[in-house]
Structure 1
Amino acid sequence: MSTSWRPAPRDIPTDPGVYRFFDEADRILYVGKAKNLRNRLSTYFHSPDGMLQRTQRMVSTARRVDWTVVGTELEALHLEYTWIKEFKPPFNIQFRDDKGYPYLSLTMGEEFPRAALARKRDNPYAKYWGPFTKAWAVRETMDMLLTVYPVRSCERGVFNRARSSGRPCLLGDIGKCAAPCVGRVTPEEHREIANGFADFMTNQDASQVAELDARMREASDKMEFERAAKLRDQRNALNAIMERSAVVLEDMLDVDIIGFASSDLAAALHIFHVRGGRVRGVRSWTVDTELELDSAAVLEHAIELAYDGEIPPPLVDVPFEPESRTALTQLLSEKRRDAGERGGVKVGVPKRGDRATLLESVNKNARLTLAEYQVKRSQDFTARSSALEDLRDALGLDQAPLRFECFDVSHLGGTDIVGSAVVFEEGLPLKDAYRHFGITQARDDTDAMYQLVSRRLARLSEELPSMRYPTTLLLIDGGQPQVAAAWRAVVDSGLTSIAVCGIAKRLEELWQPNSEYPVILGRSSDALYLVQRARDEAHRFALRYQKTKRTKVLSSALHDIEGLGPERVKALLTTFGSPTALRNATVAEISAVPGIGPALAQRVVEGLSDTAGNE
């Protein structure tokens, strides 16, 4: 594959900016931002062996990259989000609501405002409250509110029919609608009712309950018992609504508290919207994180999404700092001021007190959301059965591969070679059976694959008695050469009842031993999804083992350099993110790390250069 389109590092500016990868049809594949464009883009053009599978596919599909230099990190944040929203690049992470959250809406733009359940906040002339967790919670809240504030809740067609006939609907007869359709109240009086509805939902002030209680007692003293009973029911309705949103912060703050949970392939965000110290709404998202984005970058994208079209509160609590906290704070503050609200926004990480305690609860909800998402995605029995049967038919196997193992070899420029073997049973990963292997020396990728499969098969016979199902298929991450090497290992081991196939990266086709043509699975088929998931899992497991080994070696080498203590070693590893990035860093880039001067940076470069050949 030609790499002539890749720019030389000297041609890439070191300014902050936004970059875009394009495919051969000039479609945008991916949009990203960087404080330093040269440092960020260079990470895509090192050896692909250190990349996650999805990033490899993006880079191998790309045919050009361009960039736009901006003045500040805030401008980069603005531009990146605008382009992602406009072009929807396929390799950018896509957040998904875990459900279509319902809202309580009041259409203040109509002559007679209407209360209703809404699934989208797309009416600029309406007020919205929520999101609620369930639709019945919206309907129940609205039903209680109509007892106190009998605003119109019928659709336009029902309203017009009642107006034409001169007869109100049932809600008008039972006192849960003021019946403006038949003139029982004027438009001005109905709007006053609607304003009361909106004021209570916005503030949920206990003084409104106290006022109703006082009026009830006054009516009782005057022996107006029917009116007193009605006021009692209204007071009880408002009390019930307020009790649903329990006080969680005694200082009556307005704050959004964002929880985060992640695994190797997915992440979940959960938000508590706290207004006046009470939880007024909750919301959550899930996202597949196959691209090499760290948690801070995913959190930043989630916060941008959460306040797209929303007014942020003065405080946003997060479990850790997002990638560009200063720029993000500026962006949210601008949104708040543009909406006519006073003051800016502070994004912070609470360390103690009620907000820290509540943050832990929100994090727990995020972990539950993530677990639910992963269960739904992987444990759909029908989809898994279909995938295994389709794989059996496509490969011409005698039976569905109820247990198969997937192999991957990873290295950096032919050194530090490692292999992984991951196991799937009934279409689900069996993590207790995962194995990783260090490979001391190999002539090339095919030799490494031969060694890996041979070593695994040598143990397989011993493990057969303890297996629920025997292994009937070996899935190889690679094309024809790797498949041929794996099949040679199978033949040499004498276990020729086990089938072998490989998945090639470029077109995601399957190759079998001694086959002239590949097997093509449907792009949206459950079988291809299962194979891709196993391949990506094997690659992730190999990469994690390799990174652990290299980080240990690098950390040991850094500790041997005079002047580098544990804190400075940690700062270097945190700043550069990977052993490769640190080894490729210049003296100037290393000396920019807090606590590292030019002389010490020079010793780091020399020390790492001396140990590079000994890993």
Structure 2
Amino acid sequence: MYRFKDAHGRVIYVGKAKSLRSRLNSYFADLSGLAPRTRQMVMTAAGVEWTVVNTEVEALQLEYNWIKEFDPRFNIRYRDDKSYPVLAVTLNEEYPRLMVYRGPRRKGVRYFGPYSHAWAIRETLDLLTRVFPARTCSNGVFKRHSQIDRPCLLGYIDKCSAPCIGRVSAEEHRRIVGDFCDFLAGKTDKLVREMEQQMNDASVNLDFERAARLRDDISAMRRALEKQAVVFGDGTDADVVAFADDELEAAVQVFHVRGGRVRGQRGWVVEKSGEPGESTLEYLVEQFLTQFYGDQAALGTAADGGRDDVANPVPRQVLVPVLPDTSDELETWLSQLRGSRVTLRVAQRGDKRALAETVHRNAQDALTQHKLKRAGDFTARSAALQSIQEALELEDAPLRIECVDISHVQGTDVVASLVVFEDGLPKKSDYRHYAIREAAGQGRSDDVASIAEVTRRRFHRHLRDSGDVAEGSAAVDDGARASARVDDGSRASARVDDGPRASARPARFAYPPNLFVVDGGAPQVNAAASVLDELGVTDVAVVGLAKRLEEVWVPGRDGSPAEPVILPRNSDGLYMLQRVRDEAHRFAISYHRSKRSKRMTASALDSVRGLGEHRRKALVTHFGSLARLKQASVEEITSVPGIGAATARAVLEALGAASPTESAAEGSVAATPDSPAVSQASAPVIGDDRSTAPG
């Protein structure tokens, strides 16, 4: 096993070879004879490390672990941003719930799937809840409707048996859920026969309304069955994999067959390494099996004991176009992941051969569509990066762009965002939030100071990760908050005893950007440039993008003032800079709103004497929001543990709610214009407020 590293110590490629000498000689031969991707990897590499293992099974496991840990940019990656969507039935609850689920398996929960899309699960649920009216609501919704003693809409239209209000008992609801699970597990014929018998009995007894309802239920069940075509009559569990490739890229498609029915499909298009031995179909199959099933098995099936009635990510059989040289070792490894025997084979005849050909046609179509789509996208991004390079007179195209934006309300709750674009596309795993510490003034100068602080913290982190600044330096603590949507794994680094920051995985911010963009004009650009000069960072270009005229500001040289660069309005480069700036603005706004919301919730009750943090939290949790708390009576508030009548009246007074006598006389509860909640909620947000969802 060997690893190539770049000048920053970041692993850029992971591979395995029986003869390391011959493999390295193939890399460092005539560069003109290498494929473009391989040539770029060799020119980027600054060193190589290797590890000796005993068996090829160990090599497969170590290769998967390294690719997962280091995320090398030149390795083939079969991945997307989500795990399998499955249909989960929470049998470990008193009233089991049906829901769409992604993530690790949990004990006491039964899973069905995988499905290709979450909407496919919801469509199946929509059909089957007519027949099996089990609950699909969250625990919060279930509890709320239990308190108000009124069912939700699904309960009114008979798509839920409404156990929340006691329409059915826990035992009856569990029986409904059990029938639902039996249906999805394949015991369909028996259920259909029983319902047909019930329909005939109702018709004989002249209960035509019940007979008609059962007839419609049977029709709904059959429509649900039609959505899952039977391809293997013997009820086989298998994954069917096929590839279509050219000199540069390869498309892979996999069909998931469970119980003889196609339950889902997934596909990827990946760049080939270009090395002769690593562009063959056998190598592609080996890499796919190693990475795909390694990722899926990480979800875990140990909690379910490896039972066949759950969505085991590793099937009994995997059908591939060719068997790699390491097929025996792969079978052994896959069997270890599943906990039982897994066979790896090539389909030769019959239904399995026909399905393999269908999957191969899907792979060919996916590669063709990708080529047509990528031509436009890649050309546009390349033109945009080249336009920026020429306009700003950069030595190289800005393949990594970082942008900073500030968000606040009149100097309060000041936050910043940092977004990253690589090759013209957002890299959300590197997004960061910053809570500004040094914001003390008001208005424009506050933004300038905040820009300087974020720039200092970001590049101090870069210098520290690259080894140019000691860990114990008191200059600046980074303190960046990673995006809540992405787990970047940066805290999982291994430490050893002989160094303060010895890590097996180089930090993400050891990579400096080619272009650092700030939201603003000359003052903001000068502030960022001054910080870079102070830290001795000389290989990063800094610009600012002003909103008013969309001017690109560059810092002055040799003490001269900053100057604007006007890019044409229809320029691809300006469009990309605007997109980066708008993404930073959106990311900052979402974080600012979350901080402001938390502060407002706490500050509205801060003035209540004797109401501590825990009881404030208990009140908001019990009523769900300040608006509902404001409308509550004194008796309702005192039902919360620890809240007395005097405290309840003080809470209503602090929220500006009408007194009990006023409420009885006027028949309404109104907020006073001078209440803290009203004045804070009406405060304006600095800047455009178009988007709220992070990530």
Range into which the TM-score falls when normalised by the shorter chain: 0.5 to 0.7
Offset of 1:297 from its aligned partner?
A: 1.8
Distance in 2 between residues matched to 1:382 and 1:100, nearest whole Å = 30
Partners of 2:331 and 2:344 within 8 A in 1: yes
Partners of 2:387 and 2:572 within 8 A in 1: no
2:372 aligned to which of 369, 375, 378: 375
TM-score with structure 1 length normalisation?
A: 0.57
Instruction: Give unpaired runs (5+ residues) of structure 2.
Output: 298-311, 395-512, 516-538, 544-570, 574-695
Offset of 1:347 from its aligned partner?
A: 0.9
SS at match of 1:256: strand
SS at match of 1:147: coil
Partners of 1:313 and 1:345 within 8 A in 2: yes
2:160 aligned to which of 168, 174, 177: 177
Partners of 2:75 and 2:273 within 8 A in 1: no
Partners of 2:116 and 2:263 within 8 A in 1: no
Sort the Cα spacing of 1:65 and 1:519 in 2 relative to 1 into closer, same or farther, 3 A. closer
Offset of 1:51 from its aligned partner?
A: 1.7
Q: What amino acid does structure 1 have at the position aligned with 2:320? A: V
Structure 1 match to 2:327? 325
Structure 2 match to 1:11? none
Partners of 1:395 and 1:519 within 8 A in 2: no
Distance in 1 between residues matched to 2:19 and 2:332, nearest whole Å = 20
1:297 aligned to which of 283, 299, 312: 283
Structure 2 match to 1:286? 269
1:346 aligned to which of 334, 343, 346: 343
Whether 1:124 aligns to 2:94 is: no
Distance in 2 between residues matched to 1:128 and 1:286, nearest whole Å = 28
Whether 1:196 aligns to 2:196 is: no
Whether 1:32 aligns to 2:15 is: yes
TM-score with structure 2 length normalisation?
A: 0.51
Structure 2 match to 1:490? none
Distance in 1 between residues matched to 2:82 and 2:267, nearest whole Å = 8
Whether 1:43 aligns to 2:45 is: no
Distance in 2 between residues matched to 1:508 and 1:153, nearest whole Å = 49
Q: What amino acid does structure 2 have at the position aligned with 1:336? A: R
Distance in 2 between residues matched to 1:223 and 1:70, nearest whole Å = 76
Q: Deviations over 1:411-458 (max 9, x none)?
A: xxxxxxxxxxxxxxxxxxxxxxxxxxxxxxxxxxxxxxxxxxxxxxxx
Distance in 2 between residues matched to 1:203 and 1:246, nearest whole Å = 13
Structure 2 match to 1:444? none
Structure 1 match to 2:508? none
Distance in 2 between residues matched to 1:40 and 1:192, nearest whole Å = 62
Distance in 2 between residues matched to 1:305 and 1:213, nearest whole Å = 47
Structure 2 match to 1:251? 234
Q: 5 Å matches for 1:154-169?
A: 154-169=137-152
Partners of 2:94 and 2:170 within 8 A in 1: yes
SS at match of 2:50: strand
Partners of 1:34 and 1:76 within 8 A in 2: no
Q: Deviations over 1:324-368 (max 9, x none)?
A: 21111111111221xxxxx41111111222211110100111112
Structure 2 match to 1:52? 35
Partners of 1:97 and 1:286 within 8 A in 2: no
Whether 1:364 aligns to 2:354 is: no
Structure 1 match to 2:579? none
Partners of 1:149 and 1:193 within 8 A in 2: yes
Q: 5 Å matches for 1:49-88?
A: 49-88=32-71
Structure 1 vs Structure 2 CA RMSD: 3.3
Distance in 2 between residues matched to 1:202 and 1:40, nearest whole Å = 49
Distance in 1 between residues matched to 2:162 and 2:61, nearest whole Å = 47
Offset of 1:318 from its aligned partner?
A: 0.9
Partners of 1:311 and 1:335 within 8 A in 2: no
Q: What amino acid does structure 1 have at the position aligned with 2:126? A: D
Instruction: Give unpaired runs (5+ residues) of structure 1.
Output: 1-17, 338-342, 397-506, 510-517, 528-615
Percent of pairs identical after alignment? 44
Distance in 1 between residues matched to 2:334 and 2:240, nearest whole Å = 15
Sort the Cα spacing of 1:356 and 1:520 in 2 relative to 1 into closer, same or farther, 3 A. farther
Distance in 2 between residues matched to 1:62 and 1:142, nearest whole Å = 52
Structure 2 match to 1:220? 203
1:314 aligned to which of 313, 316, 323: 316
Moved more, 309-318 or 104-113: 104-113
1:149 aligned to which of 112, 132, 144: 132
Sort the Cα spacing of 1:150 and 1:36 in 2 relative to 1 into closer, same or farther, 3 A. farther
Q: 5 Å matches for 1:521-532?
A: none
Alignment size in residue pairs: 385
Offset of 1:187 from its aligned partner?
A: 3.0
Partners of 2:14 and 2:63 within 8 A in 1: yes
Distance in 1 between residues matched to 2:91 and 2:25, nearest whole Å = 53
Distance in 2 between residues matched to 1:201 and 1:356, nearest whole Å = 26
Sort the Cα spacing of 1:73 and 1:233 in 2 relative to 1 into closer, same or farther, 3 A. same
Partners of 2:243 and 2:251 within 8 A in 1: yes
Sort the Cα spacing of 1:228 and 1:299 in 2 relative to 1 into closer, same or farther, 3 A. same
Sort the Cα spacing of 1:108 and 1:59 in 2 relative to 1 into closer, same or farther, 3 A. farther
Distance in 2 between residues matched to 1:266 and 1:379, nearest whole Å = 16
Distance in 2 between residues matched to 1:519 and 1:526, nearest whole Å = 22
Distance in 1 between residues matched to 2:34 and 2:274, nearest whole Å = 9
Distance in 2 between residues matched to 1:325 and 1:31, nearest whole Å = 20
Q: What amino acid does structure 1 have at the position aligned with 2:333? A: L
Offset of 1:244 from its aligned partner?
A: 1.0
Whether 1:22 aligns to 2:5 is: yes
